[in-house]
Amino acid sequence: MGRPLLTSPILCAFLLAAPAPALAAETVLVESGTTMRYLSNLSDPGIGLSWTAQGFNASAWPSGVYGVGYELATGAQNLIRTTVPGGSSSVYTRATFTIANPAAVTNLYLGADYDDGYAAWINGVPVHLSPQMPSGNPAWNSRPASHESTNGQVPGYEPLVDISSAGIPALRAGENVLAIGVWNQTATSSDLVLVPRLSINRPVAIKRGPYLQSGAPDSVVIRWRTDRPADSRVMFGPEPGLLTSVVEDASLTTDHVVKLAGLSPDTRYYYAVGTTSDLLAGADADHYFATSPAPGASRPTRVWVIGDSGTADAGARSVRDAYEAFAAGGPRANLWLMLGDNAYQDGTDAEFQAAVFDMYPGLLQNTVLWPTLGNHDGHTADSSTQSGPYYDIFTLPTAGEAGGLASGTEAYYSFDYGDIHFICLESYETDRSSGGAMLTWLREDLVSTNRKWIIAFWHHPPYSRGSHDSDFDIELIQMRENALPILEQGGVDLVLAGHSHSYERSFLLDRHYGYSNTLTSGMVKDSGDGRDEGTGAYRKPPAAASPHEGAVYVVAGSSGSIGGGRLNHPAMYLSLNSLGSLVLDIDGRRLDALFLDGRSRVLDHFTILKKTAHPPRAVAAVAPRVECVSPSGAMVTLDGSASTDEDSAPGAATDIVEYRWMEDFGQPAERLLGTGERLDVTLPLGSHAITLEVIDSGGDADTDQVDTSVVDTTPPEMALTVRPETLWPPNGRMVRVSASVAAQDLCGDVEVVLESIASSDASESPVPQGRRGGPDIRGAGIGSFDLDFELRAERAGPETSRVYTITYTAADRSGNQAATSALVTVPHDRHRNSPSPSSP
């Protein structure tokens, strides 16, 4: 496991101020086209091995360039640039190269395209003998024990052999000599070829991966293999060019396992892998991973499922290519399940290389792979000790690292992806009894999850009549008898298996634990096709982990080859002898599955809905007009109690789980008013479009819209006083009068204006002129909020009074208006100063 050295992006940004390290370049000293001197041997040249020494004088040898040899038939002619006589038993060659500083040489690699065997020396020190060569010092006519020839259009130097231990000490500063000979297996051979390649400071090369394991909301494991031991570094970040975080492990290994922790859920990260000195892969748009969604979060999820895919042949390739063509037009898989028999025949490391890593390199570098053990994988893997290639290659959760309960073993495990709980069982080498550790764990794991969907997978199918028969094979029988009751009690929705090389898909089943002939109609909860356009999707109650509500069982073991069989298990809706893979799309309460064949054709599909049978019906009620009672408006009662759902208990709407009241539903200004069957909500003055949305337990929804208005029909209330109320003495002077107006309205602001000032002295109407000249009313802003004005203290004669009537009006926002008046009197004497306004 990688030891996180640096995980702070900020810290790393400083430490990694330089760009990500580029791929280091090796120095090639000798290769095709390199000048050399050579000696072809039709007879003994009589020089023993002296020709290999650095000081040997080869100036008399002809000069040429690599490759050297002859071709009397066809095959190697494109490799040979220096031809020697046919029938040569061997050819000795010498090439010089310069090393400025031997201490700076970290490694030395030699490879060759050759036929039939070769041996090499550096400065006279033997550094390599090809496997065909007899042991010991070769003579001019030594015979390789076997034939070797790649002989393509271009030199194939692989395998490159690390000759550092013998070669580096032999190097000298300055000129060095590579002496390399090639030998024929027989003198009558039609060809002899040597095209060597010698290089120094060859960087570590990646041989496998990178690939992603144990994805979780906050972590992921990245693995890769190098051609020789090296330390490990993973850089990652939000963009391919912004890999600002790094995790390193200083230990030297060829199988690199680095865990990245502290990640954000549901987030895409780009990454690169390498050593602390070299970048080996990544830092581009193709190397990324996405963390799992937060636990329980619902998001569209695609799962690619392949079973028995480990054939490493055209069949597996066609299934892969068909899926990639299919996925090119839609979302990529978020995760990827392998249902066992991942590498034929025996799950060896080399077979995994061919069947997994060479087969799916693109998918592996950006999709987390979750495998289960198949019987063929089990030939070389031992679940009892979690050892062997399968367990060495995969890093799987044992302690609930990715969700679920700790299983204590990589043989079986569970994990969450958002609102989906995945359970992987081991059906081959692990105790399948109901009292065993695996099924004990399973029981507890199921009661510990509250995810919306439960998908289980393992290798041996509980129902199959493909290339294996679930009435006969013990693993199949025991998984059916022992695991299925627990899973169905735990509310499993979908069970995936392989083993039979076919595609078989069941009806929605429950409690079928016996042989195929014990299947009854009561065990088939839905005998339809599970298709929207057919008999309808399979429906299950929406509650998570509802026991015994039915599950669909799929055998998807034809991702590498087809195996035929009777294909007539009565539990199956459909059985096909076709290559293919399964694609799952899960979104909220809907799971769509389709079987995609090797030509991207959809040969089957079905849907599971976690919904009730009937949608709800929303009925909203509200008073059409409500009198405003405060500046906030009015309390309005929204009533959804007339809403119905046929899935409810009689006379109730118990299946409706949520009432949502919204205003301006569907408009940019949409706002949630509140929730509840009845809702008292304060609405402001004006018209309101109210929408009720009801949602049932299956997630179905309905809406109903009603309109209501909050109105204001009540005029404002007013109070008016003026000071002074009496003008005395009636000396004709202008007297300042101040009014005080109080106006209020329940629904808010009011506008107050001075409506009029009238004098009782008709002769001076409308603008009375004082006897001294000028108006009797001055400074009054009629029609405005004017509280101060001047009135003339004057009357028509000593026997009469004058009365000024001051009137204000107040209007609210709804246009309701009120008026009030006050009097200012100029009495005829000091004792009669309060006549009514109508007094003459």
Partner 1 sequence: MRHPAPALLCSLICLVSAPPATAHEALDRQISSLTLRIEADPEDAALWLHRGELHRLRSEWRRALADYRVARGLEPSLDAVDLCLGELWLDRGRARRAARALDRFVARHPGNAFALAARARARAALGKHLAAADDYTSAISAAGPASPLPDYYLERARAQAAAGPPFLDAAIRGLEEGAERLGRPVSLLLPLIDLEARAGRDRAAQAHRDEVEAQKARARSGGR
Residues 266-325, interacting with partner 1 (CB under 8 A): 294-296, 308, 311, 313
Binding of partner 1 by 532 (CB under 8 A): no
Binding of partner 1 by 422 (CB under 8 A): no
From residue 777, give the alpha-carbon distance in Å to each of 54, 719, 720, 760, 823: 130, 22, 19, 12, 14
Q: How far is the CB of 218 from partner 1 (least distance, A)?
A: 8
Q: How far is the CB of 12 from partner 1 (least distance, A)?
A: 24
Q: How far is the CB of 389 from partner 1 (least distance, A)?
A: 11
Could you tell me which stretch among 196-204, 337-345, 698-706, 747-755 binds partner 1 (CB under 8 A)?
337-345
Half-sphere exposure at residue 486, Cβ-oriented, CA atoms within 13 angstroms = 24
* Nearer to partner 1 among residue 576 and residue 739 (C-beta): 576
User: Can you tell me the distance from the alpha carbon of 42 to that of 64, in angstroms, rounded to the nearest whole number?
Assistant: 18
Binding of partner 1 by 344 (CB under 8 A): yes
Q: How far is the CB of 314 from partner 1 (least distance, A)?
A: 12
Could you tell me which stretch among 398-406, 484-492, 674-682, 790-798 binds partner 1 (CB under 8 A)?
398-406
Could you tell me which stretch among 53-61, 374-382, 608-616, 810-818 binds partner 1 (CB under 8 A)?
374-382
* Nearer to partner 1 among residue 267 and residue 386 (C-beta): 386
- CA–centroid distance for 811 within its chain: 61
Binding of partner 1 by 543 (CB under 8 A): no
Site residue total, partner 1 (CB under 8 A): 73
Tokens of 114: 């050759």
* Nearer to partner 1 among residue 398 and residue 703 (C-beta): 398
Q: What is the DSSP letter of 101?
A: -
Interaction with partner 1 in 618-647: which residues (CB under 8 A)?
none
HEC states along 330-385?
Answer: CCCCCEEEECCCCCCCCCCHHHHHHHHHCCCHHHHCCCEEEECCCCCHHHCCECCC
Binding of partner 1 by 408 (CB under 8 A): yes
Q: What is the DSSP letter of 52?
A: G
Other CB atoms within 10 A of residue 55 CB? 8
Could you tell me which stretch among 4-12, 157-165, 211-219, 614-622 binds partner 1 (CB under 8 A)?
211-219
Could you tell me which stretch among 17-25, 140-148, 248-256, 404-412 binds partner 1 (CB under 8 A)?
404-412
Binding of partner 1 by 438 (CB under 8 A): yes
Cβ contacts of 838 within 8 Å, gap of 6 or more: none
Q: How far is the CB of 213 from partner 1 (least distance, A)?
A: 16
Q: How far is the CB of 464 from partner 1 (least distance, A)?
A: 10
Cβ contacts of 103 within 8 Å, gap of 6 or more: none
Binding of partner 1 by 568 (CB under 8 A): no
Binding of partner 1 by 445 (CB under 8 A): yes
* Nearer to partner 1 among residue 17 and residue 474 (C-beta): 474
Binding of partner 1 by 259 (CB under 8 A): no
Q: Output the CA torsion 566→567→569→570 (10° steps).
A: -110
Residue choice 107, 372, 478, 559 for contact with partner 1 (CB under 8 A): 478
Binding of partner 1 by 351 (CB under 8 A): no
Could you tell me which stretch among 173-181, 461-469, 699-707, 801-809 binds partner 1 (CB under 8 A)?
461-469
Tokens of 652: 């109730």
Q: Look up residue 153 and give its amino acid.
A: Q
Binding of partner 1 by 405 (CB under 8 A): yes
Give the three-state DSSP class for 280: strand
Closest CA to 551 of 368, 701, 423, 396: 423
User: Can you tell me the distance from the alpha carbon of 142 to that of 135, in angstroms, rounded to the nearest whole number?
Assistant: 10
- CA–centroid distance for 687 within its chain: 45
Binding of partner 1 by 35 (CB under 8 A): no
User: Can you tell me the distance from the alpha carbon of 660 to that of 672, in angstroms, rounded to the nearest whole number?
Assistant: 7
Could you tell me which stretch among 363-371, 474-482, 503-511, 574-582 binds partner 1 (CB under 8 A)?
474-482
Interaction with partner 1 in 704-723: which residues (CB under 8 A)?
none
Q: How far is the CB of 255 from partner 1 (least distance, A)?
A: 15
Give the three-state DSSP class for 197: strand
User: Can you tell me the distance from the alpha carbon of 79 to that of 32, in angstroms, rounded to the nearest whole number?
Assistant: 8
| Helix segments in 382-510, DSSP class H | 389-393, 437-447, 474-478, 484-489
